[in-house]
Amino acid sequence: MRRVVITGLGVITPVGNDVKTTWENLLAGKSGIDLIKSFDTSQHTVKIAGEIKDFQPEMRFDPKAIKRLDRCVQLCLWATHDAIQDAQIDLEKYDKDRIGVIIGSGIGGLATWEREHTKFVNSGPSRVSPFLIPMMIPDMTSGYVAIQWKLKGPNYTTISACASGAHAIGDAFRAIRHGDADVVITGGSEAPVTPFALAGFSNMRALSRRNDAPQQASRPFDQERDGFVMAEGAGTLILEELEFARKRGAHIYCEIVGFGATGDGYHITAPAPEGEGARRSMKRALDEAGCGVQGIQYINTHGTSTDLNDKFEVKAIRDLFGDHAKNMALNSTKSMIGHTLGAAGAIEGVVTVLSIRDNVVHPTLNLENPLQECEGLNLVTGERLDISIDCALSNSLGFGGHNATLCYKRFVT
């Protein structure tokens, strides 16, 4: 099997519009969650979210073109631009047929759909934009990346709710490993902070209602958690076949060595009892990686701050890792940026890669009274934890019972 390495990273999140700023703020334990400023929430029960600050896409892209791109695609292009720059790869030098794009998005252009539907209801069919469909459909995240850089390899979007970004990275890993591509631009993007989506998630009682204390609202694994905080963002990783990367003298962050994907087959929103689907997903990733439970030092958990998800993910970790569970560092990036849905697995993938690079795990914010199920586990709280990391997992678990686990490993020649 061909080896797959990561050579470029790009993110845009509620705590930073680039990798450096995001990473520094995560290590410092800074929250990007606040009262929603992009629209009037006076009629909403939930009034908080993780919104991106000072986003100016016209700094990089044609202002006329931006008007025809949903925010979800704009965020994706922003993160991808940074990842390509970071990888220092001149895409014009290589066979475009061997460069793929696989990017996940759970919802896609929801803001466009809402805006155009309002026009339809209020003013009739003739007022609906002819760009509605290409702006709305989720596959335009990967479609526009390919168009922007004229890439001709495997190109599609994964849609598996909160596991979309992780599934995209896993598919990209497999595409290179099995020889379908030499380079794949992969990750996830989501822009779900809209009035309609906020109402939907709120009415199903999935969201935290701590409007009076936004930065304390996302509380993964804490006894006082009351739901997740919706957020927007994007993450992009450049994956390359090892020899291809070596030949062009690329900087290598780390290696992807395992991918596990399972289904719960249980419920539209609740995870399978005891987290058995998540356990099988992690086991599959470990089996492919060949490192065994003892080889893992860190898990970036799905950690949403919801009742069953947090409890069952911890149960899955305990069941799979046994006595070794207490030796691993665990954290949740969502405690600071909120839940970016289809982009979560990609953003958290970038965070996991940076943790391996720097041998450090960022803290989990607001974890003051851990669940009883967490007793004895090394949940990183308060301050960053310096720890030697050779191999780490990143979990993503989506509505509908979609589970994905990625295994990242320090690169050794």
Catalytic residues: 162, 302, 339
At position 241, the amino acid (one-letter code) is E
The CB-side HSE value for 387 (13 A sphere, CA atoms) comes to: 24
- Report the alpha-carbon distance of residue 367 to residue 365 in Å, rounded: 6
Quick check: 351 and 413 in contact, CB under 8 A? no
Strands 33-35 and 48-50: antiparallel
* CA-to-CA dists, residue 357 to 48, 219, 254, 344, angstroms: 33, 26, 8, 20
Residues 6+ apart with CB under 8 A from 343: 75, 104, 105, 164, 165, 187, 188, 189, 190, 232, 233, 234, 235
The answer to whether residues 71 and 56 touch, using CB atoms and an 8 Å cutoff, is no
Q: What is the largest CA-CA distance in the chain?
A: 64
183-339-367-309 Cα dihedral, nearest 10 degrees: -90
